[in-house]
Amino acid sequence: MPKIIAVDYGLKRCGIAETDPSQIIASGLTTVDTRDIFKFLTGYFQKNQAEAIVLGEPKRMDTSDTHNSQPVRDFKKKLEELFPDKKIYLVDERFTSKMAFQTMIDGGLSKKQRQNKALVDQISATIILQSFLQSR
């Protein structure tokens, strides 16, 4: 079965997560500079069989857009153009950064390690992907 990949899109960097081939478990993969995301995804899809991309959709508590909502929609549109064979899903990403930070605390990471924003983005992508898997 092909994998599913998740992207926690940000203006500076993107957290990336992927499923196992059985699409049961989400695991953090890496963090990529946003300017390199399409190059990364192209290489990833050449090496890995993946059927879908899950994107975190930024929303405020009242479900209105955030400063990053339009960039995510633009990113989704570009993904649809570049990878027309991939299904693309949007998943509510409210609280994922807070959940990622709590996961780091629960995992015993030091204060210095918790300040690593790239790791927070990667964990956030994992949470987004796991949420998607559980909702199916």
pLDDT score at 109: 61
Contacts 24+ apart (CB under 8 A), 69-76: 71/9, 71/11, 72/9, 75/7, 75/9, 75/37
pLDDT score at 63: 76
pLDDT band at 110 (very low <50, low <70, confident <90, very high): confident
pTM of the model: 0.87
What is the number of structural domains in the chain? 1
pLDDT score at 96: 66
Range of the domain at 72: 3-135
Mean per-residue pLDDT, 66-87: 93
pLDDT digits (tens, 9 = 90+) for 13-58: 999 999 999 999 999 999 999 999 999 999 999 999 999 999 998 8
Residue 111's CATH number: 3.30.420.140
If you count them, how many residues does the chain have?
Answer: 136
